[in-house]
Amino acid sequence: MKSWKFRRHVRVSRTGLPAGVELMQNPILNKGTAFTEEERESLGLRGLLPPDVQTMKQQVKRVMENFRRKETDLGKYIHMLSLQDRNETLFYRVLIDHLEEMMPIIYTPTVGKACQLYGHIFRRPRGLFISSKHRGKIAEVMQNWRYVDVRIIVVTDGERILGLGDLGADGMGIPVGKLSLYTACAGIPPEQTLPITLDVGTNNEELLNDPLYIGVKERRLTGKEYDDFFEEFVSAVQEVFPHALIQLEDFGNHNAFRLLRDYRDRICTFDDDIQGTGAVALAGLYSALRITGEKLEDQSVLFLGAGEAGIGIGDLIVAAMVDEGLPEEKAKRRNWFVDSKGLVVKSRTDLAEHKLAYAHDHEPVPDFLSAIEALKPTAIIGVSGQPGTFTQPVVEAMSKLNERPIVFALSNPTSKSECTAEEAYRWSKGRAIFASGSPFDPVTLDGTTFIPGQGNNAYIFPGVGLGVIACEARHVTDEMFFVAAKVLAGMIRKENLAKGSVYPTLTRIREVSAEIATAVAEVAYERDLAGRPRPDDLREHVESLMFVPEYESYI
């Protein structure tokens, strides 16, 4: 039987577990109607449950019946969140067994709508809300968390939630959703995960005037106040949860690049919007080249959007091109960016620091279509958060230049996608190699059915996190993401490629995560970054750490 590491003492039975109502209110331990007659007797549950003892299979059937009765995706989201609050083992059994159906509900695109309405659908808090009012006592606040052996923290300050902008404390849906995927996709035990929102205020006028907004109704902290607050947060994590990896999620561009730069060599951390997105996009590009038969070093990539995601992808593509033998400067010149003011070129004086590495010598170009005509790219990658920007003329221009144009519309949620799968296939007459950030249904065109790939970061970050835990890595490096991309691309089967999909099916996600985790841990051992001795069989060790949602006997 597991030895549960609780922060606080609770009423316990003679078995050492919480008893009665306290046991049933603990979502990690609760089994609901699956408690056996013997458990009900010894754990003080008589009369607290209906008399019929049911199997997990019966419970899953009930959950799915009610799930499918919900008329809206938001209703389905609330239904699953309520289940997670009651019984996490059952929640993860349902999620794993129905991942393709559940993923769009638990995460993009539905989580975006849930965040926009978070204060209005709020039922029960999950994770920690650490606000600007907690300055000077953040470590004390962290001590309130029930579990002590936290290994993964996903933290946001809510400033740039998906492509939806500043949602303040309502952005908590993102860390909660990401950590659900850590457990479902890579088997991180749920009690080892902790979602955190740093509520430093919001500049969203609608939220500031919303009587149901759950966060601090003040303008965002900036400058030294913000930096001191974040530094205290990091120090508190190191004190209270010394083995935890900190995943940065949905910070604004002006903070994201700086925080990653300042902390990546000090603590165990990464930014999923920069590094995770880079890895999943690179993996998709590798797969696309298996279809075209071309080399990465010969590609010319044009990005729409020059924020965290775009620069993260560009940096990793450059690293991959260098790995194939291209000099770094030449590799950078094969990656071009268009932002809201046109092509990023050296003569511009309005460029943020993170764009400067990709400011090449070229005459100014005002828009994306003109940039395609001037640069003749082999691939376009949309990370702009601006829907409909991959227009018919854009896709047709790419199709004139390339026999198999690579069109990745990666902005989330679905409502922000640069184009739909159906548009990409129709406008290219079925020749586009398409991937998106949020899911699209299969498309049938002239008798051929295409199954678009979803460039979901869930293919990458859960495996990276599992690998970090497996070897207790002290830092997370770009090399780990580069290796993760290679592993992911190598796991795509020919039949997936034949149908136009550049990613494996979600049904293989735990296998993918285990492979990535093993490769990431290997990098840590090779670079002397591991905090524990290397096991004889690293893959076996990784798999031994993966949580399987099955009920334990408490007798």
Catalytic residue numbers, as ranges: 107, 178
402 token code pair: 């390339």
Return all residues near 55 (Cβ < 8 A) that are at least 6 apart. 34
SS3 of 12, please? strand
Spell out the alpha helix ranges (H) of 223-367: 223-240, 253-263, 277-292, 308-323, 328-332
Spell out the alpha helix ranges (H) of 342-432: 368-375, 392-401, 421-427
Pairwise CA distance, residues 526 & 519, whole Å: 11
Pairwise CA distance, residues 426 & 391, whole Å: 12
Query: How large is the angle between the packed helices 99-106 and 173-186, nearest 10 degrees?
Result: 160
Which residue is associated with the tokens 């093993």? 518
The phi and psi torsions of 213 (rounded to 5 degrees) equal -65, 135
Return all residues near 236 (Cβ < 8 A) that are at least 6 apart. 138, 139, 141, 142
Cβ neighbours, 10 Å, residue 553: 9
Spell out the alpha helix ranges (H) of 117-222: 118-121, 138-142, 173-186, 205-208
Pairwise CA distance, residues 538 & 470, whole Å: 8
Which residue is associated with the tokens 């457990």? 183
CB of 307 closer than 8 Å to CB of 329 = no
The phi and psi torsions of 536 (rounded to 5 degrees) equal -60, -40
Q: Which amino acid is at 369?
A: L
Distances (CA, A) of 371 to 304, 378, 398: 10, 12, 11
CB of 358 closer than 8 Å to CB of 343 = no
Pairwise CA distance, residues 366 & 535, whole Å: 55
Which residue is associated with the tokens 């031994």? 544
35 token code pair: 């408690």
Q: What is the DSSP string of 406-458?
A: EEEE--SSGGG-SS-HHHHHHHTTT--EEEESS----EEETTEEE--EE--GG
Pairwise CA distance, residues 33 & 30, whole Å: 9
SS3 of 37, please? helix
